[in-house]
Amino acid sequence: MTKDALRIVWIYPDLLSTYGDRGNLIMLTRRAVLRGLPVESTGINSDQRVPEQGDIYLLGGGEDLPQVLAARRLRADGGLQAAAARGAVIFAVCAGYQLIGEVFGGAQGEPVDGLGLIDIRSSRGDERGVGEIVADVDQSLRVERLTGFENHQGKTSIGAGAKPLARVALGVGNGDGSGTEGVYAGRILGTYLHGPALVRNPSLADLLLTWAAGPLPPLPESEEVWTTRLREERLAAVPA
Ligand code: GLN
């Protein structure tokens, strides 16, 4: 990998990629390149070693069994854990979100060990949360209102070592009765939002880029036309 490029690693697209999660990679790459930051991105399938030297790691959503398999392989591999210990940025969606925590509910609801990278615990809920979600982000992060799509059976509670990412205005989110959505701690951020999340929420993409590369200038308005239009359309479509 070239030394000065921002290294983005997309973890296990063969197991964890639902609802266009690849869009998160496309969005980060585009918004970095427009700021003059070259990007080297690589997709790592579940039969490959996870490189430890990435700057940003992406994990997408997945069905129950691929999620269990992904967790098992990542635990055995150790690359993502080493990257997290170095302070790499990790952005994890839905199944990816659940599996970076301490434990999550497997295909039959059985507890499955996660990677233990962040202080959350997930289990299977009684109902599946499906549909549009809108949530207001922890103000200290300076990220605009989130819009996304969720589809998950799991529910997630956050321990003392991490903070909720946002408060739910519409939808289910963490689903543990706290009214929260997602989590963050250090440079690790998890969310139930698909959509893909970073395409609908460019300021969340910029937060991740800032964590990895330092402060960034805003993009010219001409580059925000389509993202703004998409956000407005999705937010107007729901009563939040
Ligand atoms: N299998 C997990 C659940 O249902 C995650 C689903 C997803 O990634 N969309 O909770």
Atom of ligand 1 nearest to the CA of 194: 9
Distance 62 CA to ligand 1 centre (A): 6
Q: Which of 2, 3, 60, 5 is nearest to 32 (CA)?
A: 5
Ligand 1 atom closest to residue 67's alpha carbon, by position in its atom list: 1
What is the distance in A from the centroid of ligand 1 to the CA of 80?
A: 20
Average pLDDT, integer, range 153-168: 98
Instruction: Report the alpha-carbon distance of residue 28 to residue 124 in Å, rounded.
Output: 31
pTM of the model: 0.97
Given a cut of 60, is residue 2 above it in pLDDT? Answer: no
Tens digit of pLDDT for each residue in 3-37? 589 999 999 999 999 989 999 999 999 999 999 99
Q: Which two tokens stand for residue 43?
A: 């997709």
The DSSP 8-state label assigned to residue 237 in this structure reads T
Domains recognised in the chain with CATH numbers? 6-236 (3.40.50.880)
Annotated catalytic residue 152: no
Task: Compute how many other C-beta atoms are within 10 angstroms of the C-beta atom of residue 108.
Answer: 8
Q: If you measure from the C-alpha of residue 154 to the centroid of ligand 1, how many angstroms do you get, rounded to a whole number? A: 6
Share of the chain above pLDDT 70, in %: 99
* Per-residue pLDDT, 98: 98
Closest protein CA for atom 3 of ligand 1 = 152
Q: What is the pLDDT of residues 163-193, one digit of tens each?
A: 999 999 999 999 999 999 999 999 999 999 9
